[in-house]
Structure 1
Amino acid sequence: MIGRNGSARRYRVQHRTTYCYSDDVTSSYGRAYLTPREFPGQRLLSHDIHVDPLPSDRSIGTDVYGNTSSYFHVTAEHRKLVVTGESLVEVDKPERLTAGPARQPWEDARPTGATGPLAVEFALDLRPPEITPEVTAYAAESLTPGRSLLDAVTELNTRIHADFTYRSGSTTVSTKVADVFAEREGVCQDFARIGVACLRSHGLAARYVSGYLATDPPPGKERMVGADATHAWSAVWVPGEAGHDRTGRWIGFDPTNDQFADERYVTVAWGRDYADVPPLRGIIYTDARESTITVSVDVAPVEV
């Protein structure tokens, strides 16, 4: 397991979403995944979500994957809605994988009801399907017979980074993996979904992870508040030691930046796909013909 090793980093995260409408909104229902998770390697020290106008009803719940979701209902008429999540999070530096199941052949990491009952679901394709013959063939170039899981995922991560161009605005949250393959461009959410689909195409368990990445400014430059953005990456399941652990562990990897997730990554939620854990979704009642959305994210390091 990932544990504290003296290299923890602490961050203050502010995630603000502003909706503006051309006419009054009489009712707005929202569901947010803005609460960072707690697990070995990440601790949530404080958290709050502010909604303006003030909701008439709100609640907090936990979904099937253990993510925290926040529900709110605004009944006051408004033309602007602002939802702000504020968190203080501490993240440990992961331990190096020098031995163990991650260094074994990738074929041995396919989950079963006996070795990884909670991981089996993450090896299944979505509905509608995302795994195409092209996805399977692309993944096979890295998942060669007998290769270690860690080596295979490392190469796949690098290939996605090299073969696909990051282009903001080139896709939407509903863009299919097959379309991203055809255009060879997208954003972090798309590349995370490609990584997930590739691993699932060969029976491995993979999940979609949403959160934040703390970015360092260029030398001599100050950090720009709001310059950070929501981020997404993939995670592959690694079985536990034979006969001892049926839970296993998950290793995050980031095709957008060609690296494995480390102490700079703040995890908010995970699921089988983006649709399981969008930062915000909702329903509004309005006659407005136009609307805009602005998202500002700031991940500021804090002295531990």
Structure 2
Amino acid sequence: MSEELGMREEPRGRLYRVTHRTVYEYDDDVTSSYGRGFLCPRDFPGQRRIDHELVVDPEPEDSSTGVDAFGNHDLYFHVTQTHRRLVVDAQSTVAVAAEQTSWANWDDWADWEDVRLRLAQEPLVRQYVIDLDPPEITDEVLRWAAPTFAARRPLVEVVAELTHRIYKELRYDPGSTTVATKVSEVLAQRSGVCQDFARLAIACLRGHGLAARYVSGYLLTNPPPGQPKLVGADATHAWAAVCFGEDRWLAFDPTNNQLVSDEYITCAWGRDYADVPPLRGVIYSEAKTSTIGVSVDVAEL
């Protein structure tokens, strides 16, 4: 499965080759395997997908691509060959330009209460304001967020402090959570991974009537000389974005305490992780054990 976009104008900025490999191995035969995911980078101002290719081994009997309700490119495949090893390789070429380089340079300094009033007039963003089911906006989350949401404070300052607090007060600890861990649990144990930190930020913003979305993608694997490697660069990454109205979104990364820059490649966005997992599926097998290996490389061209 591949997609070539031809001669389309690229944003000024940096060009990347993204390689994402997922390997599933089982201790018994798998007779049927269904997969669905979001491995194709998006097109939007500041990012241009030049090409994308997906290879599944064994070759699927059936496969397709489409666009979901959030505008993401999703994939589907069905492997019917008996197998004990399944490999999904996704490769993309993407051009990225930095839209925002510092908090101070953001051009909208409206108070967060005023932004909330704006959003009330924009029904299309309501899906990013409403809490999830089961709810993530608990009393504990609201109490923790309250000091940051001071009255008549510019939203950009709120988001900057929220990003910093998550970075300073919670510990990055791979293995301490799963995709089923609740935001309240992450806050209680003060640890998690990038997906958890993005979801905590989103719950805090939604708890105050603001629109926030979950974003999945990648980070530059090897930074320029002299710059530290960012957390999450060796796997898929996740961050959040907040809406200022009129489809203007500010993307930020609590895991690394910074705005999203031209070192980030966006694959998909939605209300939560469950909307945009990189890959998930169902198998038919008597296998008792299985392993999954994921490797990601983002190389600048």
Q: Which residue of 2 aligns with 1:126?
A: 132
**Is 1:108 matched with 2:107?**
no
Q: How many matched pairs?
A: 288
RMSD: 2.1
Q: Tell me the alpha carbon deviations over residues 250-282 of structure 1, each in whole angstroms, 9 at most, x when there is no partner.
A: 111100000010111100000000000000011
Q: Which residue of 2 aligns with 1:28?
A: 33
Distance 1:77 1:172 in 2: 29
Task: Give the drift of 1:175.
Answer: 0.5
Contact 2:198 2:214 in 1 (8 A): yes
Mapping 1:140-155, distance limit 5 Å: 140-155=146-161
Letter in 2 for 1:13: V
- Aligned amino acid, residue 68 of structure 1: H
Give the conservation status (yes or no) of the 8 Å contact 1:33–1:269.
yes
5 Å matches for 1:1-304? Answer: 6=12, 8-95=13-100, 98=105, 100=107, 102-110=108-116, 115-217=121-223, 219=225, 228-239=234-245, 247-302=246-301
- Tell me how far apart the structure 2 counterparts of residues 58 and 99 of structure 1 sit (CA, whole Å): 42
TM-score relative to the length of structure 2: 0.91
Residue 111 of structure 1, CA deviation: 5.7
| Distance change in 2, residues 1:46/1:227 (3 Å) | same
Structure 2 unpaired stretches of 5+: 1-8
Shift of 1:113: 6.7
Describe the SS at the equivalent of 1:169. Answer: coil
Q: With the length of structure 1 as denominator, give the TM-score of the two structures.
A: 0.90
Give the direction of change, closer, same or farther, for the CA distance of 1:57–1:120 in structure 2 (3 Å limit).
same
Q: Give the deviation of 1:119 after TM superposition.
A: 1.0
**Unaligned 5+ runs, structure 1:** 240-246
Structure 1 stretches of at least 4 aligned residues deviating more than 6 Å after TM superposition = none
Q: How far 1:140 moved relative to its partner?
A: 1.7
Instruction: Report the secondary structure of 1:229's partner residue.
Output: coil
Distance 1:257 1:179, change over 3 A: same
Q: Identity of counterpart residues, as a percentage?
A: 56
Q: Equivalents in 1 of 2:170, 2:224: separation in Å? A: 24
Q: CA separation in 1, counterparts of 2:42 and 2:237? A: 15
User: Which region of structure 1 is more displaced relative to structure 2, 205-214 or 114-123?
Assistant: 114-123
Provide the rounded CA distance (Å) in 2 between the counterparts of 1:227 and 1:195. Answer: 20
Q: Distance in 1 between matches of 2:236 and 2:213?
A: 17
Partner of 2:3: none
